């Protein structure tokens, strides 16, 4: 080969197997074949398991610092939360102890006042504990199903409450289960009383789009209603016992173009995720002593009137000469 010519082919010493294009095509086809075979027949699963077993100690060592930091952060957060919870529990215990010291005195005063005013005792209501099984399948209503029914003495219309307040009312009763309509259902209505002012009103459930709120309707704009007022059952409907907590007022909107205020309330009971409830018996209005005493008197008067009616008709129908004998018999 002349020195002045340029040969662009590498010398035989540097030639190593097939060309780069051939290797690219071969390994691309091999990779495609392995992917299809692994997706269809899982041929790479043993190899993957072996690699994971070999790399597990390295992964464990690499994750230890991260887990230590997470555990330390969680411990500090839980410690802070536990301290806050302990402080709140101590404050609540102190308030309950203060109230407990006044309970006996208040009960004694209440008993004396009731005896003085001749008021009948508060209605004592029996109750049955139940467990919530599941939510009803109707998407347009807010209902739950409990594991007690007719065989356990559950009656339609019975009020239901949890540990926080009134939850709803029994609307359907079956032999083994019952259905509760929650207060936040749009068709549910409950009479309430403002614990601060003693004003009675009615609370309505709102649609699900309002986030499970209640509405206090037909309250005048001049009525004394404030935020955070406690609403309890008034007991005038003969279903709910009086004094049960229902909701708290969250917003009061008094508009100049309306004679009623728009008042929204938040229910105190746990409307979502409740597991255990208490079913109360419906309150039956008791008869007053005056009505009980007047019932026999009215019955005897009616009997006397019915007995004297034939005698009066006979006396009027008798001739004029027979009347003196009738009067003598009466005097005799």
Of 51-65, 157-171, 279-293, the range with the lowest mean pLDDT is 279-293
Average pLDDT over residues 270-296: 65
User: For residue 145, is pLDDT > 70?
Assistant: yes
- Domain ranges in the chain are 31-121, 127-280
Confidence of residue 141 (pLDDT cuts 50, 70, 90): confident
What is this structure's pTM?
A: 0.52
Q: Tell me, what's the pLDDT at 182?
A: 92
Q: Tell me, what's the pLDDT at 2?
A: 54
User: For residue 284, is pLDDT > 90?
Assistant: no
Q: When comparing pLDDT for 290 and 111, which is higher? A: 111
SS3 assignment, position 168: strand
Where would I find the H helices in 11-140? Answer: 20-41, 45-117
Distances (CA, A) of 168 to 182, 246, 265, 329: 4, 10, 15, 69
Confidence of residue 332 (pLDDT cuts 50, 70, 90): very low
The alpha carbon torsion through 54, 58, 63, 65 (nearest 10 deg) reads 160
Confidence of residue 191 (pLDDT cuts 50, 70, 90): very high
Average pLDDT over residues 223-252: 90
Q: When comparing pLDDT for 215 and 101, which is higher? A: 215
Residue 235: which H helix or E strand, with range? none
Task: Report yes or no: 204 and 185 within 8 Å, Cβ to Cβ.
Answer: no
Fold of 127-280: Thrombin, subunit H (2.40.10)
pLDDT for 16-54, tens place per residue?
A: 677 788 889 999 999 999 888 888 888 878 888 888 889
SS3 assignment, position 211: coil
Q: Provide, rounded to the nearest whole percent, the portion of the chain with pLDDT above 70.
A: 77
Average pLDDT over residues 223-250: 90
Q: Tell me, what's the pLDDT at 295?
A: 43
Average pLDDT over residues 61-68: 90
User: For residue 310, is pLDDT > 60?
Assistant: no
SS3 assignment, position 13: helix
Q: When comparing pLDDT for 1 and 146, which is higher? A: 146
Q: When comparing pLDDT for 290 and 164, which is higher? A: 164
Confidence of residue 69 (pLDDT cuts 50, 70, 90): very high
- Residues in Cβ contact with 179 at an 8 Å cutoff, skipping those fewer than 6 apart: 136, 143, 144, 145, 146, 170, 171, 172, 173
pLDDT for 70-84, tens place per residue?
A: 999 999 999 989 999
């Amino acid at each position: 080969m002349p020195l002045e010519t340029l040969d662009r082919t590498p010398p035989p010493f540097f030639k190593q197997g097939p060309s780069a294009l051939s290797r690219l095509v071969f390994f691309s086809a091999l990779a495609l074949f392995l992917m299809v075979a692994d997706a269809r027949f899982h041929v790479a699963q043993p190899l993957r398991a072996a690699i994971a077993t070999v790399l597990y100690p390295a992964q464990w060592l690499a994750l230890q610092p991260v887990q230590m930091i997470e555990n330390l952060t969680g411990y500090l957060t839980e410690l802070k939360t536990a301290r806050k919870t302990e402080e709140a529990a101590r404050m609540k215990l102190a308030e309950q102890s203060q109230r407990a010291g006044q309970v006996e005195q208040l009960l004694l005063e209440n008993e004396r006042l009731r005896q003085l005013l001749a008021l009948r005792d508060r209605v004592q209501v029996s109750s049955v504990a139940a467990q919530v099984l599941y939510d009803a399948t109707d998407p347009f209503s807010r209902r739950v199903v409990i594991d007690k029914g007719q065989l356990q003495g559950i009656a339609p219309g019975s009020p239901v409450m949890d540990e926080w307040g009134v939850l709803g009312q029994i609307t359907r009763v079956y032999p083994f289960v019952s259905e509760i309509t929650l207060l936040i259902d749009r068709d549910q209505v409950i009479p309430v009383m403002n614990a601060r002012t003693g004003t009675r009103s009615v609370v309505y459930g709102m649609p699900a789009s309002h986030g499970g709120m209640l509405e206090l309707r037909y309250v005048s704009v001049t009525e004394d209603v404030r935020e955070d007022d406690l609403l309890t059952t008034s007991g005038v409907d003969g279903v709910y016992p009086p004094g049960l907590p229902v909701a708290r007022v969250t917003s009061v909107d008094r508009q100049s173009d309306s004679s009623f205020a728009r008042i929204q309330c938040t229910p105190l009971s746990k409307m979502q995720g409740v597991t255990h409830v208490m079913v109360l018996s419906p309150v039956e209005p008791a008869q007053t002593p005056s009505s009980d005493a007047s019932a026999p008197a009215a019955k005897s008067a009616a009997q006397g009137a019915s007995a004297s009616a034939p005698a009066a008709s006979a006396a009027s129908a008798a001739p004029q000469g027979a009347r003196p004998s009738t009067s003598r018999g009466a005097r005799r």
